[in-house]
Structure 1
Amino acid sequence: MYVVIEGIDTAGKSTQLELLQKKYLYALFTKEPGGTEIGAKLRTMALNGEAKSKIAEMFLFLADRAEHIEEVILNNEDKMIISDRSMISGIAYASNFDLDKMIELNLLATNNILPSHVILLELSPEELKYRLSQKQNDAIELRGIDYLIDIQNRMKETIIKLGINHLFIDASLKIEEIEKQIEDFLNE
């Protein structure tokens, strides 16, 4: 089982991943980008703005993804793998590129390997605005609510286009309610 937790910043991914780590002690937990040694270097390069071109930056993330599939996913097919983000985020955040082209490039990078389960924690614009007001915002969060909601919509569209087994959850629900929905989905 290859499970992915997706969502825009402040949606509650970290909280749910912590709860899953306590419940699934035998599972392998990973993340994208940066879940491998090379991936960590590529992630740092991309996030530090070392690539001056948006296309070069996108290829850094694709290289990270290819390495992650090879090193983490394929080498642990006998285990339950739970990942903080995946190609879905990669496609969504590359919003200045055509969605279908990004899907095509990511399928190439992942050798057509897709998660078996995707959980998307969704926020309404109002809830997102509230959550962002409660914290110090990073560079992506400073791009604004409309930008982040567009990314979230692009995540949903990507999941649907790829036909992946998924669960969309209202991230404004109580933590325990979200946890229960995730558990039910994984035990189906």
Structure 2
Amino acid sequence: MYVVIEGIDTAGKSTQLEILQKRFENAVFTKEPGGTKLGAKLRELILEGEARSKTAEMFMFLADRAEHTKDIIIPNLNKLIISDRSLISGIAYALNKDIDELIALNKIATKNIFPQKIILLELSKDELVFRLSQKQNDSIEKRGVDYLLTIQSRLKEIILKLNIKHIFIDASLNIEEIAEKIEDFINE
């Protein structure tokens, strides 16, 4: 099964992935962007804001996704794969592009292999403001609270549009409570 954890920056994906690595020791853990050698380079370029064009940034994500699908997803389809982000984020962050066009491009990049279950960690505006104030922000986080909340809204829209089995979890809940909800969802 191919499972994805989605959420805007600071939603707690990394914390939950650390917990999942202890609970699902035989699973394949990966991330997008950055789950492959090429992806790691592209991730660095994206986070440093190297792409001055939003279209170029989108194609960098698609290049990473194609490589990730070929090198990580396809060889491990017979195992439990748990990924930090996926095409859902890739589509959501490409704000200046039509969602249906982006889905079509992602079908090419992923060879029509989409996640089977999606976990979305959601933040309220107040919680997001607090969490961003507690850390050094990267180029995407520096785009601001309203930008990130727009992305979160698009994440939900895309998940619903693709009709993939999903769970939306309040990311301000206790860490262990979130972990239990995620584990139950994966195991159901």
TM-score category of the 2 structures, normalised to the smaller one: over 0.9
Does residue 133 of the first structure (1) align with residue 142 of the second (2)?
no
Q: Please state whether the residue corresponding to 1:5 is helix, strand or coil.
A: strand
1:47 aligns with 2:24: no
Relative to the length of structure 1, the TM-score reads: 0.95
For residues 180 and 56 of structure 2, the distance between their equivalents in structure 1, rounded to whole angstroms, comes to: 40
Letter in 2 for 1:85: R
Please tell me whether residue 168 in structure 1 is matched to residue 168 in structure 2.
yes
Q: Within 2, Cα distance between the matches of 1:56 and 1:135?
A: 28
TM-score, with length taken from structure 2: 0.95
Unaligned runs of 5+ in 2: none
Q: Would the alpha carbon gap of residues 142 and 44 (structure 1) be closer, same or farther in structure 2, given more than 3 Å must change? A: closer
* Structure 1, 52-61 or 8-17: larger mean CA deviation: 52-61
Displacement, 1:142? 1.5
Percent identity for Structure 1 against Structure 2: 69
Matches within 5 A, 1:75-114: 75-114=75-114
Report how far residue 97 of structure 1 moved. 1.3
Provide the residue aligned with 1:70 in structure 2. Answer: 70
Give the distance between the partners of 1:49 and 1:97, measured in 2 at CA: 19
Cα separation, partners in 2 of 1:170 and 1:107, compared to 1, 3 Å: same
Mean Cα displacement is larger for which, 178-187 or 40-49? 40-49
Q: Which amino acid aligns with 2:186?
A: L
Match of 1:16 in 2: 16
Structure 1 residue 35 displacement after superposition? 0.6
Alpha-carbon separation, structure 2, partners of 1:44 and 1:135: 18
| Alpha-carbon distance between aligned partners in 1 of 2:178 and 2:48, rounded to the nearest angstrom | 33
2:56 equivalent in structure 1: 56
Structure 2 match to 1:2? 2
